[in-house]
Chains A and B, each alone.
Chain A
Amino acid sequence: MIRFIWQNWWRRKDRFILLIIGAFIVSAGLTYLIGLSETNKGTVVDNLQQRWSASYDIVVRPKGTRSVTEDKKLLEPNYLSGMNGGISIEQYEMIKDIPGVDIAAPIAMIGYANYEVNFGEVELSEEGLYRKKTTVTINNGIDEEKNSFNSYFPNDVWDVMNKGPEYGVGAPILDFSIGGDSLLAGIDPEEEAKLIGLEEAIIDLGSSRYFEDTDGYHFNEERVYHEFPIIVNQHAYVDKIEEISFELLDLDITEENADEVMETVKERGGGSYLDTLDGELVESFSSSGIETFHAFVSKMTGVDWKTGEVHVEEVVELDNEEYVSPMREDGVTGIVYKPSPLKYDEISSPYIDRWPYSYQLLPFRNGENTVGVYRNKESFREPQLMAANYVELPRIKPNWIGFYDPSNLSISIDPTTELPMETYRPATAEYVMDSDGNPMNPPKIVKPTGDPYNFLTDPPGMLTTIEVAERLLGEKPISAIRIKVTGVTDLSEESQAILEKVASEIEKRTGLITDITLGSSPQLALTYVPGLNGESDIGWLQQPWVNIGSSISIFKETKIGFSGIVASVIAVAIVYVWASGIVNLLARRKEFAVLLSIGWRPSRLNQLLFIEASLIGLFVAFISWVMLGFVYISSEVSISFERFLSTGLFGLIVYLLGSIIPMIMARSISPYEAMRSGEISGKSKRLFQAKGINRMAINHFIGKWKRSILSVISIALPTALLAVFLYITFRLRGIMYTSLLGEYVALEIGPTHYIAIIVALIIAILTTAEIMWQNVSERREEISLLQSIGWKRWSIRRLILAEGVFSGLFAALIGFTIALMIIWGLYHAFPAEEIGFILMTGLIPVFIGVLGTILPAERAVRIVPNRGMGGNISNRKAVEKRLKWVVISTSLLIFGTFLFTMVRVAPNIEHANSNVEVEQVFNPTEGSVEKIDREEPISSRDESANSYEAPSDYLIELHTGENSESKGWGGVLFYEAKEVESSMPPPEPGMKNIAIEFNFEIRDTMSYHMRPDHHFTLIDGEESYHPVDIKIIETIGWEDEQWLHGIQDGRMHAVLEFTVHDSIDNYGLLLKNGTLGDGIMVKFEK
Chain B
Amino acid sequence: MEKIECKNLHKEFKGDGTSTVALNNINLSFQKGEFTAIIGPSGSGKSTLLSLIGTLDKPSNGTLTYDREEILKKGKNKIADFRFKEIGFIFQQFHLLPTLTALENVLTPLFARKVPYTKIERAKEVLKQVGLTDKLDSLPSQLSGGQQQRVAIARAIVHKPSWLLADEPTGNLDTETGERIYELLKELNELEGCGVLFVTHDPVLAAKASRIITMKDGVVLSDKEGVSS
Complex Cα spacing A268 to B99, Å: 120
Contact A8 B99 (CB under 8 A): yes
* A601 lies within 8 A of B89 (CB): no
Report if A388 contacts B (CB, 8 A): no
Chain B residues with CB under 8 A of A12:
99
Kindly state whether residue B225 has any CB partner on chain A within 8 Å.
Answer: no
- A580-607, CB under 8 A of B: which get 1 and which 0? 0000000000110011111111111001
Within 8 A of B (CB), among A589-643: 590-591, 594-604, 607
Which residues of chain B from 55 to 79 have any CB-CB distance to chain A below 8 Å in the complex? 55-57, 76-77
CA distance A4 to B139 in the complex (A): 14
Q: Among the listed stretches B33-41, B101-109, B125-133, B216-224, which one makes contact with chain A, having 4 or more residues with CB under 8 Å of it?
A: B101-109
Which residues of B lie under 8 Å from residue A874 when comparing CB positions? 139, 141-142
Report the separation of the CA atoms of residues A896 and B97 in the bound assembly, to the nearest whole angstrom: 35
Report whether B80 and A601 are in contact in the complex, using a CB–CB cutoff of 8 Å.
yes
- Whether a CB of chain A sits under 8 angstroms from the CB of B173 is no
A1 within 8 A of B: yes
CB distance from B58 to the nearest CB of A (A): 9
Interface string of A190-234 (1 = CB under 8 A from B): 000000000000000000000000000000000000000000000
B159: which of A1, A590, A599, A674 is its contact (CB, 8 Å)?
Answer: A599
Whether A598 contacts B139 by the Cβ 8 Å rule is: no
The answer to whether A1 and B99 touch across the interface, beta carbons within 8 angstroms, is no
Query: Nearest-CB distance from B91 to chain A (Å)?
Result: 6
Alpha-carbon distance A874/B140, docked complex (angstroms):
9
Bound complex: CA A874 to CA B99 (Å) = 8
C-alpha gap A868/B143 in the complex (Å): 12
| Chain A residues positioned under 8 Å from B54 (CB to CB) | 597
Q: Which of B55, B99, B167 contacts A873 (CB 8 A)?
A: B99
> Contacts A595-B108, A672-B56, A873-B141 hold; do A602 and B83 have CB atoms under 8 A apart?
no
The answer to whether the Cβ of A870 comes within 8 Å of any Cβ in the partner chain is yes
Contact of B111 with A601 in the complex, beta carbons under 8 Å: no
Q: Does A7 contact B (CB under 8 A)?
A: yes
Asked if A670 CB lies within 8 Å of chain B CBs, one says: yes
| Residue contact A600 to B111, C-beta cutoff 8 Å | yes
Q: Are A871 and B141 in contact (CB under 8 A)?
A: yes
Question: How far is A71 from B62 in the complex, measured between Cα atoms in Å?
Answer: 85
Determine if A604 and B101 form an interchain contact, defined as CB atoms under 8 angstroms apart. Answer: no
A677 within 8 A of B: yes
B112 interfacial contact with A, CB 8 Å: yes
How long is the Cα–Cα vector from A607 to B111 in the complex, in angstroms?
12
Assess whether B210 is interfacial by the CB under 8 Å rule. Answer: no
How many Å lie between the Cα of A670 and that of B140 in the bound state? Answer: 24
Which residues of B have CB within 8 Å of A670? Answer: 56-57
Q: Are A868 and B111 in contact (CB under 8 A)?
A: no
State whether A675 and B91 are in contact (beta carbons under 8 Å apart), knowing that A11-B139, A870-B141 are contacts in the complex: yes
* B108 and A875 form a contact (CB under 8 A): no
Give A873 to B142 CA distance when docked, in angstroms.
9
Over the window 662-685 of chain A, the binary record of Cβ atoms lying under 8 Å from chain B Cβ atoms (1 yes, 0 no) is 000000001110110100001100
Residue of B nearest to A671 (CB): B56
For B80, give the chain A residue with the smallest CB separation: A601
Q: Given A11, A599, A868, which contacts B84 in the complex, CB threshold below 8 Å?
A: A599
Q: Are A7 and B111 in contact (CB under 8 A)?
A: no
Instruction: Out of B85, B87, B112, name the residue touching A604 (CB < 8 Å).
Output: B112
B177 adjacent to chain A (CB < 8 Å):
no
The minimal Cβ–Cβ distance linking A681 to chain B, given in whole angstroms, is: 13
**Bound form: Cα–Cα A1–B140 in Å:** 20
**Does A869 belong to the interface (CB within 8 Å)?**
yes
* A871 to B81 alpha-carbon distance, docked (Å): 34
Instruction: For B112, list chain A residues within 8 Å (CB).
Output: 1, 604, 607
Once the chains are docked, how many angstroms separate the CA of A602 from the CA of B54?
16
Contact: B93 with A870, CB < 8 Å?
no
Q: Which residue of B lies closest to A9 (CB)?
A: B99
Complex partner residue of B89 from A8, A607, A674, CB under 8 angstroms: A674
Interface residues of B in 147-198 (CB under 8 A from A): 155-156, 159, 167
Contact of A870 among B51, B95, B104, B140 (CB under 8 A): B140
Min Cβ gap A883→B in Å is 14
**B45 contacts across to A, CB distance below 8 A:** none
How many CB-defined contacts (below 8 Å) exist between A and B? Answer: 107
Q: Is B98 an interface residue (CB 8 A)?
A: yes
A603 CA to B79 CA in the complex, in Å?
A: 12
- B109 CB → nearest A CB, Å: 5
Separation in Å of the A817 CB from the closest CB of chain B?
A: 30
Residues of A within 8 A of B25 (CB): none
CB <8 Å contact, A675 and B167? yes
With contact pairs A599-B87, A602-B77 given, residues A590 and B111 touching in the complex (Cβ less than 8 Å): no
Among the interface residues B80, B108, B156, B159, which one has the most CB atoms of the partner chain A within 10 A?
B80
Contacts of A875 in B (CB 8 A): 101, 137, 139
How near does chain A come to B11, taking the closest CB pair, in angstroms? 10
Contacts of A868 in B (CB 8 A): 141
B80, A602: Cβ atoms closer than 8 Å = yes
Give, as a whole number of angstroms, the nearest-CB distance from B119 to chain A: 13
Contact partner of B76 (CB less than 8 A), chosen from A595, A601, A674, A683, is: A601
- Which B residues touch A604, using CB under 8 A? 80, 111-112
Of all chain A residues, the one with the shortest Cβ separation from B109 is A598
Which of B84, B92, B141 has most chain A Cβ within 10 Å?
A: B141
A588 to chain B, nearest CB (A): 9
Q: Are A674 and B141 in contact (CB under 8 A)?
A: no
Cβ-defined contact, A599 with B99, below 8 A: no
Q: Looking across the interface, which residue of chain A has its beta carbon closest to that of B101?
A: A875
Contact A594 B91 (CB under 8 A): yes
Which chain B positions have C-beta within 8 A of A671?
Answer: 51, 55-57, 83
Residue pair B92, A677 in contact (C-beta under 8 Å): yes
Instruction: Kindly list chain A residues whose C-beta atoms are within 8 Å of the C-beta of B142.
Output: 874
A588 nearest in chain B by CB position: B97
What is the chain B residue whose CB lies nearest that of A3?
Answer: B104
Inter-chain contact B56/A675, CB cutoff 8 Å: yes
What is the CA–CA distance of A7 and B81 in the complex, to the nearest angstrom? 25
Contact assessment for B83 and A597 in the assembled complex, using a CB-CB cutoff below 8 Å: yes
Q: Within 8 Å CB of A4, what residues of B?
A: 100, 104, 108, 111
In angstroms, Cα B56 to Cα A868, docked, is: 29
- Name the residue among A8, A671, A683, A873 with the largest chain B CB count within 10 angstroms: A671
Verify A596–B139 contact, CB threshold 8 A.
no
A674 to chain B, nearest CB (A): 6
Query: Does B88 belong to the interface (CB within 8 Å)?
Result: yes
Give chain A nearest CB distance to B166 CB in angstroms: 11
Question: B104 and A7: CB pair below 8 A?
Answer: yes
Q: How far is the CA of A8 from the CA of B92 in the complex (A)?
A: 23
Which of chain B's residues have a CB closer than 8 A to the CB of A869? 98, 141
Most chain A beta-carbon neighbours within 10 Å: one of B83, B95, B137? B95
Q: Say whether, besides A674-B95, A871-B141, A873-B98, A600 and B80 are in contact (CB < 8 Å).
A: yes
Contacts of A591 in B (CB 8 A): 95, 97
Complex contacts, B113 vs chain A, CB 8 Å: 599
Which A residue's beta carbon lies closest to that of B97? A591
Most buried by B among A601, A674, A682: A601
15 contacts between A and B (CB under 8 A): A4-B100, A591-B95, A598-B155, A599-B109, A600-B84, A600-B109, A600-B111, A603-B77, A670-B57, A671-B55, A671-B56, A674-B56, A674-B95, A675-B167, A875-B101
A residues lining the B interface (CB < 8 Å): 1, 4, 7-8, 10-12, 590-591, 594-604, 607, 670-672, 674-675, 677, 682-683, 868-871, 873-875
A-contacting residues of B (Cβ < 8 Å)?
A: 15-16, 47, 50-51, 54-57, 76-77, 80-81, 83-85, 87-89, 91-93, 95, 97-101, 104, 108-109, 111-113, 137, 139-142, 155-156, 159, 167
Question: Which 5 A-B residue pairings sit nearest by Cβ, starting from the closest?
Answer: A599-B84, A870-B141, A672-B57, A11-B99, A601-B80
Q: A598-B89, A670-B57, A868-B141 are in contact. List 10 more A-B contacts (CB 8 A).
A: A1-B111, A12-B99, A591-B95, A595-B108, A604-B111, A672-B56, A675-B91, A870-B98, A875-B101, A875-B137
